[in-house]
Structure 1
């Protein structure tokens, strides 16, 4: 039966012979297939099988082979009737799909190979294509399984972050409550305002985390469904494998992991002692960002590359005459001729320093001692080598009210008031920083504020 079927098949379209004709060399073809293959040729007409040159296009119809083809077709129809009821057929030619177009990702029948636009496309048998795509699906299963594990870990982290947000908020509320007990009446209004801010922030962060968890959960659901679908598709028959394979391929390629919401919390500045709650408001409202001006620096004053840190450095060799007639100081690049301004510095190490403001015209390169009389208003701080300092390793806040002519100094470690200066300002005022020559281990650092 197999031999008869091979005789009844056309070598060109690989289908049953239709109106069979026989060439001079003895090979059989469909009448339409051989004439389509010879279309446009003149002179000699090569046999598609053995390349024997046939003298002309006139070929005799093989009646005996035609009868044999009909018999083979009837037997094939009866034997494959049940199978063909299950197998998908070509919608155009109603024949069994046996080929796969790698360019268009479509299943084709043998007739499509001859008469459709797929003639020049790479076509391979379904079995070969199925094996290739099964390998791809297997790699997808492994990759997406790992991806699912990562996403599950992200989901777990976001659940933990939600609990951490609640824990931190609870801890900060407790701290706020302990501080408010000192002067309950005075802090009642402020406590309510801060509590509301925390509640809003907590609700906002929690809502974003919940929404992010929902997105991740939905992504996990899609991943799980896709993995299940890929797994089922992997086990299907060759023909069923390609039903919807393009859809699975597109969903796999376009599946994106949702962005992860970062829940970094900024602790509110509500732990200010009651008597200086106004200081907290003052900092928030008037904090400025300063940088040091190296052009105004004394030769022994060294400023950092970011222009925020300053130290004193004893010169080697013979001293510069200017070193003996001026005070080791440096000014800010920014000056003020109106308004209210607040800046913060850190003091690290041991020694003596002077913080304050001076007039823009203040003569720095002279032996005159800086004072309010010559336009320099400063406050001295001493941090001893051993033993506790009166203010510890301080963070100092300086507040300038130009119109009122006031300069105030605060220890921001405990929000205590240190010192105040009152005068009349008539020109631009520059923030002033100085380190005593005996204080090589002391560093003044400007803390950045808003721009």
Structure 2
């Protein structure tokens, strides 16, 4: 068998003192081999001459000779290892930027495959082999290659960081555990690693859940955009249809007005022509009579003049033109046409508001009154649908922070923090009331300022026919009729609060461009009884969608 085939592993050629391949191998009398320099230094530093392997004691310092057989075997091993390293190096790739290089390679640094936490060294495939074959090195802990190995050493004791201090939540070395942290709780790094890894797994699961939730939100937003586009397209089509009809109506009214004026002008012109023709006919008759009279006045025949005088003494019969005139009047034509157009537009507007009211009624909610918020003089029905003002303040009411204590208001139980919201309230036979929505944090105990700045989006009736919107500044409302039932609509995202006269299908008022950041609650105030003139309750009505 050739010598090369006997080279099974590197540990056959390792010095037990330096743990490296033999350099100038020598044999002791007991048959063990060491590097010449290693065994000499070992004996120089000890009082006895003993074998480091078997502990045999030599009473005199043995003479050491180079073991030529081992030396040749080591030389052959080195050559083969060098050839193998050279071959492996040609196959392996040099470490790229960002990759951990081998700490042993000279010249071109190859990519490290593993890092030894005992040696604190990173090895390429070739230089890693002793850790995979040598029995002593196999016990070393290997891990995926890492840089900055000094970060894994205790800066104070220059020992590997092998423990985790649960008290201080930091990595420490074995000396730290008995010196600086001796009363603390410790676990091996691996144990803490497993625990933290499990926590990271939970964190990753939670992150993935959050990611999925946000992906769903993205889909929801995209779907909302699609729905918005569809709604916008429908609204544009409806707008084009409505305004085209209005434009056609205006053009038709204008054409009819112009036609009426032109027809009147044609009638006037024809009448004038007829009058002129009749006048010219009379002028012709008068001229003829004038000629006959002049001729008769010059006659010398007494009998002839007397016989014809009776028929010629008077002018021929003619029409009395004193009151006759041609003065056509166009005044009021435009006004009447505009009035008619306005009536047409009003009918069209009514249709639009009916459609709008029908749309918002789709978002009807079942609102009930919250007794915990009611002013002490307010009387609520058992079903929570009616409220009116009582003359006597209730006693022994719990001191609820939600209750109004100065103004006769009550809120609905239902709140809105997104989407759309609609409800209807009967207000007939009232001389005063307030309706709308408010944010959750409004002042309920002291002085209240009714405006959006302070969280109120409301309208009111005062003195039977004075309607106002509590905006900044307040807006006086002019209504064609007194509402008997008021609809309240809120679009949270749009920042819109609208009020409708349900029976007339007309818009009363809208707050636009609102910024809602809290829950909104319906607000109801029946006001005081006004001497019995306003004792009727406010009634939350079921919503019946308009036909």
Normalising to structure 1: TM-score of the pair? 0.36
Greater gyration radius: 2
